[in-house]
Amino acid sequence: MSTTATVATPFTGMLRRAERAGLDDIAQKVLAGTRLSVEDGLRLYEADLHVVGELANHVRERLHGDLAYFNVNQHVNYTNICNKLCRFCAFQRLPNQPGAYAMTPEEAAAKITAQLGEPVTEVHMVAGIHPKLEYSYYLDLLRAVKRARPSIHVKAFTMVELDQIAKKAKKPLEIVLPELIEAGLGSVPGGGAEVFADRVHKESYHLKISGDEWLAIARKVHQSGLRSNCTMLHGHIETKAERIDHLDRLRRLQDETHGFQTYIPLSFHPEHTEMADVPGPTALDELREIAVGRLMLDNIAHIKAYWILMDVPVAQTALSFGADDVDGTVVEEKIYHEAGATTPQHVKRAELIRWIRDAGRIPVERDTLYNVVWADETGDAATSI
Amino acid sequence: MTDSATRPTHDVPDRSPAPHAHARRESAARNGSFAAEVERIGGLVEDGRRITPEDGLVLHEHADLGTLGRLADLVRFRKHPHRVVTYVVDRNLNPTNVCITDCGFCAFYRRPKHEQSYVLPRETIHAKMDELRALGGRQVLMQGGHHPYLKSDWWCDLLADLRERYPEINLHALSAPEIDHLSRIEKRPVEDVIADLLGAGLGSVPGAGAEMLVERVRKIIAPKKTSTDRWLEVHRRVHEAGLRSSATMMFAHVETAAERVEHLQRLRTLQDETGGFTAFACWTMQPDGVPEQQLYPERATPSTYLRVQALSRIYLDNFANVQTSYVTQGLKMAQITLRFGCNDFGGTMMEENVVSAAGCFNLSPIEAIERQIARADFAPRRRNSWYGIVDDRHDERVDGPRGPMSRADGASHGAVRPEARRVLSSGTPAVGGRA
């Protein structure tokens, strides 16, 4: 009897609080591991933040305990030239615009070589849709990077870039993907998903692939044996219903392929974009988005609080609102810094470890595929504060 | 698109997270040996009961950030059921940086005769006050170093001058160590110093110089500064004189977790006695370029601040208001703290010379502060030094009843002599008393 009481205690409190917030049915589902419906998801946006956060934290701890993942990575944004004119982007440049650039494969490789003294395990390589780059460029880029650091994992090319690469190759993706893998591609990042809804697509990024196309490419990526991440750009013109629809579509594809490793809610940064009048999400909105993502995406293992976007206070707090990953050391982030992000452009590994410990979690350095590179042997998160 | 129908779904293996041999998979906060204790203490807080120093330490050491935030939020909304966040249009004014206390964590002060030492001429002070008046300011936070030759008469003259020229601006001035310093260099009781300052126009007393109210810590970080008991004694005398004051804590340097709780406990005890504190604010030590930087650890990360800030809201059950520290933590953290126990944004400051001398500078214009509050779904409202709302937008339905509007109202709301306290504490004073 007493044993049951001890075990039940934390859940009893959580259930009581959920009941008070009108979420008792959702809390029961969360405890039972039952899938939340789209309607449930919408209610998560209306309910008290702490109650939603506690439910999300429950799922997060059921999956990962106190572990919080990070990696040692670097970013290479090989070109900012882009013809998609997305209204929420401050990174893009037209080919003749001042500040436009495109790296040669050798220049990109030099960025890798410059970090050889650091224990980098991953390069995150994404860029604009440069209409003039040929298929061979992308293959050369992968090869050059792998030559510069053979052990590095290349996480490169969003679904949007893959669509462009296949067009340039004039071959179906099913053929192109194995060739990219052969050249060094290790996995695919989650960007370019934006918000899948057709209305949002038409109004803010109509020149780019639609939500359906993004999902179709992701399916092919997963079928090729590659893992990918997935994202949602929130806090611009989308409605809450459109966000939940987005998450639901990700969840359905994941049921089919199991290819998504991590979901990353991306906060819209308005500065220098065509939507500079939209304020972007608040810190509290960002915490809620993490929590909603954790609760809705019951089949995706990891939820990332991308520190460079959210800033450290939010990322640390998010580790108690559903997130289990903070991304990495990120040498030289450009895309969000063009849109006003003021976070440092890279941090030391030791600093990431300190952030995670101070947030009451146990830091685990992972590689891109979540193999453990280093785990904190001292291990006791709650007393390491 | 049709590929999915033709291809079996097990092409990609389901790689759920790899098991990690070295690290536990269960959460310490939920399943560790203190989980039941944290739950019990959380129950006390939910029931509106007081927690002990031991309970406070358990929460500090073993509660997860989410639990601390939830409990702090509960206490905050219990005290302030209206979705209002207040701030005061004020400015910092540091009349002198000359100081003989030599605190190793302070990058602001200069020794007497140092080439960068200063005492602001009266015209400069007037010019700064004029700027504040133009903004509709309600308070000037005026504190400085412990100057060996500036005595009560200098301060009284300044206070009386400002009182007369700027009657609408409250003189929130002279921290407890400064008042103690005057009493020491003039060799007379602190009550007399306070009476003179009060007579000259002092309106309320800031909570600075508390640092860590634990002697072991003070001996290390500020051996020449007013002692713990003396700091508390000065505030007691201030309250007895009918003035309100605020309280602070500077942490994340050489103190232990238990000492943080000890600090909060001392403040809570004095507040029980006098009811004279309006608010509490805490911040982490800013270590860049301070004289004894080698003594201090790296700048604390935001989570450490958030944890202690939430704990202080839970622990200080007899404090009406808890301020966020956007100046040291930035606006993003400030917004989070509005759901982690804070109901006040502090002052607009206009200038900041003390923590900014130690590598920290996050001053924000009034519009940015208003925007942050509003976007976190609270009504931003201007207040005065006694936490009365002084804002054209005041609406009782949204904001709740007005608090004290003046020093006199403030006194009747809680800053009372001990003998009168018993009578008042049975009622529910709107500000300062235990809710």
pLDDT digits (tens, 9 = 90+) for A330-370: 877 777 777 777 777 667 888 999 999 999 999 999 999 99
pLDDT at B403: 85
pLDDT at B407: 84
Average pLDDT over every residue of A272-277: 86
Chain B nearest-CA distance from A63, in A, is 8
pLDDT at A345: 61
pLDDT for A374 beyond 80: yes
Q: Which of A7-11, A16-20, A262-266, A366-370 has the lowest mean pLDDT?
A: A7-11
Question: For residues A312 and B301, is the Cβ–Cβ distance under 8 A?
Answer: yes
pLDDT for B424 beyond 70: no
pLDDT at A134: 97
A265 Rama sector, left if φ>0, alpha if ψ -120 to 50, beta otherwise = beta
pLDDT at A272: 84
pLDDT for A373 beyond 90: yes
Q: Is B324 on the interface with A (CB under 8 A)?
A: no
pLDDT band at B8 (very low <50, low <70, confident <90, very high): very low
pTM of structure: 0.91
Which of A256, A311, A372 faces B20 most closely, judged by CB atoms? A372
pLDDT at A330: 85
Integer Cα distance of B196 and B202 in angstroms: 9
Q: Is B185 on the interface with A (CB under 8 A)?
A: no
Q: What is the pLDDT of residues A156-208, one digit of tens each?
A: 999 999 999 999 999 999 999 999 999 999 999 999 999 999 999 999 999 99
Question: For residues B271 and B277, is the Cβ–Cβ distance under 8 A?
Answer: yes
C-alpha torsion angle, residues A29, A34, A37, A43 (rounded to 10): 30
pLDDT for B430 beyond 50: no
pLDDT at B47: 96
B375 neighbourhood in chain A, CB within 8 Å: 279, 282
Chain B nearest-CA distance from A280, in A, is 10
Average pLDDT over every residue of A206-235: 97
pLDDT band at B25 (very low <50, low <70, confident <90, very high): low
The chain B residue lying nearest A253, using CA atoms, is B4
Are the beta carbons of A358 and B332 separated by less than 8 Å? no
Which of B9, B301, B307 faces A312 most closely, judged by CB atoms? B301
Q: Pick the residue of A284, A321, A348 with the most B CBs within 10 A to test the interface with B by mutation.
A: A284
Average pLDDT over every residue of B212-231: 96
pLDDT at B220: 95
Give the burial class of B199: count Cβ atoms within 10 A of its Cβ; 0-12 exposed, 13-18 middle, 19 or more buried.
exposed
Q: What is the mean pLDDT of chain B?
A: 87
Q: Which of B235, B164, B160 is nearest to B200 (CA)?
A: B160
Q: What is the mean pLDDT of chain A?
A: 92
Percentage with pLDDT > 90 across chain B: 73
Q: Among the ranges B5-19, B272-286, B340-354, B412-426, which has the highest mean pLDDT value?
A: B272-286
Query: Which residues lie closer than 8 Å to A367 by C-beta, 6 or more apart?
Result: A71, A121, A122, A153, A373
Q: What is the pLDDT of residues A279-307, one digit of tens each?
A: 889 999 999 999 999 999 999 999 999 99
Average pLDDT over every residue of A41-60: 97
Average pLDDT over every residue of A101-124: 96
Count, residues in chain B:
435
pLDDT for B414 beyond 90: no
The SS3 assignment for B381 reads strand
pLDDT at B359: 65
pLDDT at B362: 60
pLDDT at A106: 98
Q: Which of A57-61, A264-268, B12-16, B320-324 has the lowest mean pLDDT?
A: B12-16
Are the beta carbons of A317 and B303 separated by less than 8 Å? yes
Q: Is the dihedral of CA B297, B302, B303, B307 positive or negative?
A: positive
Q: Which of A80-89, A200-209, B166-175 has the lowest mean pLDDT?
A: A80-89
DSSP state of A18: H
Question: For residues B269 and B235, is the Cβ–Cβ distance under 8 A?
Answer: no
**Judged by CB atoms within 8 Å, which residues 43-62 of B form the interface with A?**
43, 60-62
Average pLDDT over every residue of B234-255: 97
> Bigger pLDDT: A140 or B420?
A140
pLDDT at B413: 60
Instruction: Please report, for residues B64, B261, B323, B391, the alpha-carbon distance to residue B395 in angstroms, rounded to integers and kept in the order given.
Output: 37, 37, 22, 9
pLDDT at B412: 67
pLDDT for B31 beyond 80: no
pLDDT for A155 beyond 70: yes
C-alpha torsion angle, residues A198, A202, A203, A204 (rounded to 10): 90
pLDDT band at B361 (very low <50, low <70, confident <90, very high): low
pLDDT at A271: 84
Instruction: Please report, for residues A38, A221, A223, B11, B261, the alpha-carbon distance to residue B14 in angstroms, rounded to integers and kept in the order given.
Output: 24, 15, 12, 9, 47
B39 neighbourhood in chain A, CB within 8 Å: 9-10, 13
Average pLDDT over every residue of A256-263: 98
Chain B nearest-CA distance from A104, in A, is 34
At A23, list the tokens.
């979420």
Q: Which of A341-355, B56-70, B301-315 has the lowest mean pLDDT?
A: A341-355
pLDDT at B126: 97
Are the beta carbons of B70 and A54 separated by less than 8 Å? yes
Q: Is B3 on the interface with A (CB under 8 A)?
A: yes
pLDDT band at B17 (very low <50, low <70, confident <90, very high): very low
Q: How far apart are the first and last CA of chain A?
A: 34
Integer Cα distance of A84 and A96 in angstroms: 15
Average pLDDT over every residue of A71-81: 95
At B305, list the tokens.
């601040």
Phi, psi (degrees; rounded to nearest 5) at B314: -70, -45
pLDDT at A275: 87
Average pLDDT over every residue of B353-376: 79
Q: What is the pLDDT of residues B139-154, one digit of tens each?
A: 999 998 999 999 999 9
CB atoms within 10 A of CB A116: 11
Chain B nearest-CA distance from A118, in A, is 22
